[in-house]
A and B are shown apart, each in its own frame.
Chain A
Amino acid sequence: MHLKMRLCSPVVAFASFFALVPAPLSSQAAGEKKLEVFSWWTSGGEAAALDSLFATYKKQNPGIEIINATVAGGGGSAARPVLQTRLAGGNPPDTWQSHPGWEMLGQYVEPGYCEAITELYQSDGWDKAFPKGLVDLMTKDGKIYGVLAGVHRGNNLWFNKKLLEKNGITVGDKMTFDEFFAACDKLKAAGIPALGVGDSGIWASAQLFENTLLGVVGGQGWMDLFSGKMKWDDPKVKEAMKYFAKMQDYLNPDHSALSWDQAIGALIEGKVAFSSMGDWADGEFTKAGKKENVDFGWVSHPGTDGSFIIVADGFTLAKGAPHKDATIAWLKSIGSKEAQEAFNPLKGSIPARTDVDKSKFDNYHQWSMKSFASDTLLPSCVHGEAAPAAFQQALNDAVTAFIVDKNIDNFANALAQAAKESEATNK
């Protein structure tokens, strides 16, 4: 034992020194012509879209080498540990992919990992091109911290048109919960699981709940919930939970073994009729060669017509970025019309700017852009924008438990408790 003790004290001192003192920045020369971009866009449409951003950047800024630091994994599940350990360790990438709202402001800006880029918005006419609602999601204390490349819409209900027609169901411009459940009952009678969910990783079910919640409490209620004005055990929330529980009766039985894209695949094959999913699902239909309004269709999730849940992708400027000038050029580039018009058709989202050439987009995206321009813009909770990460995880955990035991009181209490805890942590 003596040996260990004798070695202990100096080593402990040494270790605590470097643990308590912020680690020095990366030793890379700041003058190098490089740019490191960190994201989790690794394959298919996403990778192509990212490449288009690189191509636009290289045209506008020749001679700079781009390091494409990506880590795959749904929703960044494998990328987050890497990013977080790098930030905590003082070795940040120049810029990284982030959702606006709580994720950007709470996780990255507040601990001081980002630098403000407010000046960018004052030049190039950006203050007119980007909707105020979006920019507010990246503003803290009057300073703006990010640039958005594209916006996905989260509250969509996709359906297999041919399957619905075969069962005598038509879908109008909007849908109420009663219409939805009536359709589900008809399909159930025909032996078809009406609602397709692929919630391996649980977030697809959390998204279904989030969309349903919006459908019941409405846009103002949504903002009240996340500002603390409405409590999570409010009767309206519990009503949404009741609807959510009812939806479980119409799910495909293997939902917990499927990923979200496999559920869309089941919809395409006609095994299920509906799926509530963000519009990255559109890419699946295109890949499978399906025709809009012939094979498949879409409508706002029941009750959510008039609201647009934002799931947006943006980039930030790291504090102490090894290549600051190159990074500022990057942010300027992705905010430009040219980049956004190239990026978004490939990514399946709509541009964050409102002044782009709309003819490059298909029917669905034009519909989405119209909604974007006129509807209430709301942050998504499931994608990290409306609430802190700890609450998001608590929501996922509560949904996991609720799907099995359908206990509304437990669900509501868990969310109320999580909201209280997150208020305490984030004071």
Chain B
Amino acid sequence: MQASFVNFRQSLPRTIWDWLILIFLLFCALFFLMPIYVMVVTGLKQAENVSLSTMWHLPVHLSGGGFYEAWRRLYPNMGNSLQLTIPATILSSILGAINGYIFAKWKFRGANTLFAVLVFGMFIPYQSILIPLIQFLEQIKLYGTIGGLILVHVIYGLPICSLIFRNFFAGIPDELIEAARLDGAGVIRIFLLVMLPLALPAFVVVGIFQFTNIWNDFLFGVTILPNPSAQPVTVALNNLSGSFSVDWNVVMAGAVIVALPTALIYILLGRFFVRGLLAGSVKG
């Protein structure tokens, strides 16, 4: 059953409890914003003025230098990250949708076992498969290419995407499938004509998940792409901090810059995120 959408009736605080709740939420919000404050404020300081002992102080001399330097060094890699994340997210979503659809609506013998085999894959620690992974990519000539990294992210994203879509499609009534079957539609046409049009909320959830995970990945990016001009922005951010000594204002400014795309997605699409979670992926 499709749940009704979130009711947006909001009210002003009425009772004393309401006021207390509001104040508590405000404190929580301040706590949540605290690290962001430290990062932004440090990014706006001049390099010489950055010191641990003054970490809470507002910048004495406002300096855009940190942000300017960080942007200058990061922006080529932002392009790499976009080149990596967008295709990988789209591919993951499509494959996840197809798999989720099959597992939700076309039960065959052994399907449940296969699904468990698939889902278990999302739980492995990535360090444990690094060496065989690199050797395999070398063999298929995809090592050191963004294509290889996309392949890796798509494959390791298959379990979670399939899981989310499968839970989502399970909530779509079987009657719709039946009706299409009676019209002569086969497995593939039902997917294209019936399921896909209804699947937007799930696509948004999966899209946000995958975009966040792939954008923020560091381990695969650094081991599979050794050439710095091809590396994603998280690796470039790590390289902003030197090996032996660090320009903290540039590093913190860089951290803020790297976080912006995902933050923007969350702010703009946060509502759909909750709606998507609503539509079935919540119930396990």
Which A residues contact B (CB, under 8 angstroms)? 1-4, 15, 18-19, 23-24, 27, 38, 40-47, 67-76, 78, 81-82, 85-86, 88-91, 93, 258-259, 261-262, 265, 269, 280, 283-284, 287
Residues of B within 8 A of A45 (CB): 244-245
Let me know if B144 is at the binding interface, CB within 8 A: yes
Contact (Cβ within 8 A) A91 B239: no
CA of A269 to CA of B53 in the docked complex: distance in angstroms? Answer: 11
CA of A281 to CA of B134 in the docked complex: distance in angstroms? Answer: 37
Which B residues contact A (CB, under 8 angstroms)? 51-53, 110, 113-114, 117, 130-132, 134-139, 141, 143-144, 222-223, 226-228, 235, 238-247
16 more contacts with CB within 8 A, not counting A19-B132, A283-B245, are A40-B243, A41-B243, A44-B245, A45-B245, A46-B243, A68-B228, A71-B238, A72-B242, A85-B134, A85-B223, A86-B134, A89-B138, A93-B226, A261-B244, A262-B52, A283-B244
If A69-B227, A72-B243, A76-B243 touch, does A91 touch B238 (CB 8 Å cutoff)? no
CA of A147 to CA of B73 in the docked complex: distance in angstroms? Answer: 31
Q: Least Cβ distance of B222 to chain A in Å?
A: 6
Contact (Cβ within 8 A) B222 A81: yes
Residues of B within 8 A of A72 (CB): 238-243
CA of A30 to CA of B143 in the docked complex: distance in angstroms? Answer: 18
Residues of A within 8 A of B139 (CB): 18, 23-24
Q: Least Cβ distance of B134 to chain A in Å?
A: 4
Residues of A within 8 A of B235 (CB): 71
Q: Least Cβ distance of B221 to chain A in Å?
A: 10
Contact (Cβ within 8 A) B144 A91: yes
Contact (Cβ within 8 A) A18 B226: no
Contact of B246 among A1, A41, A93, A261 (CB under 8 A): A261
Residues of B within 8 A of A280 (CB): 244
Contact of A89 among B113, B135, B241, B247 (CB under 8 A): B135
CA of A331 to CA of B223 in the docked complex: distance in angstroms? Answer: 26
CA of A73 to CA of B236 in the docked complex: distance in angstroms? Answer: 11
Contact (Cβ within 8 A) A38 B247: no
Contact of B226 among A2, A15, A27, A38 (CB under 8 A): A38
Residues of A within 8 A of B226 (CB): 38, 69, 71, 82, 86, 93
Q: Least Cβ distance of A419 to chain B in Å?
A: 27
